[in-house]
Amino acid sequence: MAGDNFSIRALQLGDRIDLKGLEREDAFSKNPLAFRLSGGGMVALFKSGAAVFVDMSPVEEDEIIRSLGARVVEPLAEREGETAQVVVKPTEEDITSPTGAIQIRAADPERLLLVAEAMAVSVALAHDERRIARAFERMEPVATSLARNRLPPGPKSALLGQIGEALHIQQRLADRVGVDEKPDVLWDHPALERFWAKLVDEYDLAQRARAIERKLVIIRETADMITDLISTRTSHRLELYIIALIALEIALGVYDRFIK
């Protein structure tokens, strides 16, 4: 890298990035897809929709993003982003300092991949946290109506849309590599596990993931309850319709036999 200090920037570009067919001969990692540029910078692309740029200018970043084109699935109008400063100190330990800077012994691919992985998970979680917050806002009047022992007003389609949104977020979390799982680079470099643990702690990855999962459980349970109530109400209506038809048939029979 250029000098002893440089920046790393992570952006959540979309719901995911289709990396199939993007293999490069100069790539030093396949998961994530990571490679160096002629100017000395580095790029790491993640299936989760994040791209991490190491020691690159905004112009270089924009060129990479444009080159991805349609490979970014469901691109975000408002991208989540995080930036960190990296300080290289060969005689010191790999740490995350209170100032927010990340200190590493060497700017080797393995350490940079771990930093990129932590930042990629962080922006992906930020994207999910934003979506969860919106889902909770929509579910609040639903919960209020249920507390009053009645179904929320509005068409069923709106309620089903809320259920679908919760399921979509849940599927996204299930598809992404879990925070508790090791990045691939650690299988070949187990000595860096302590550094990875520090990064996970620095970005609160485990706590944030668990908080999202708890909120998803609440949304899912609420959605299931609404679905059950809608089904019950529909069943009751059908029963009333059947009773009404039977009563009408009896009335017509009485009319035909005794009145007509």
Residues 6+ apart with CB under 8 A from 260: none
- Domain tally, the chain: 2
Cβ neighbours around 7 below 10 Å, total: 13
* Statement to judge: residues 132 and 254 lie in one domain: yes
Residues 6+ apart with CB under 8 A from 162: 135, 138, 139, 142, 223, 226
41-45, 52-56, 124-128, 157-161: range with lowest mean pLDDT: 157-161
* Statement to judge: residues 255 and 129 lie in one domain: yes
pLDDT in tens, 8-50: 999 999 989 999 988 888 899 998 999 999 888 999 999 989 9
pLDDT at residue 160, rounded to an integer: 64
Q: Which two tokens stand for residue 58?
A: 């905004």
74, 106, 138 - which closes a domain:
106
Residue environment code for 220-249, b if the CB has 16+ CB neighbours within 10 A, otherwise e: eebbeebeebeeeeeeeeeeeeeeeeeeee
* Statement to judge: residues 131 and 100 lie in one domain: no
Q: What is the amino acid identity at position 199? A: L
Q: pTM of the full predicted structure?
A: 0.78
Q: Which residues are 35's β-sheet partners? A: 27, 43
Task: Name the pLDDT band for 133 (thresholds 50, 70, 90).
Answer: confident
Residue 55 lies in domain: 5-106
Q: Which two tokens stand for residue 154?
A: 């509005």
47, 76, 106 - which closes a domain:
106
* Statement to judge: residues 67 and 136 lie in one domain: no
C-alpha 134/C-alpha 145 separation (Å) is 18
106, 141, 166 - which closes a domain:
106
pLDDT in tens, 104-119: 999 999 999 999 999 9
pLDDT in tens, 185-213: 999 999 999 999 999 998 999 888 888 88
Cβ neighbours around 54 below 10 Å, total: 26
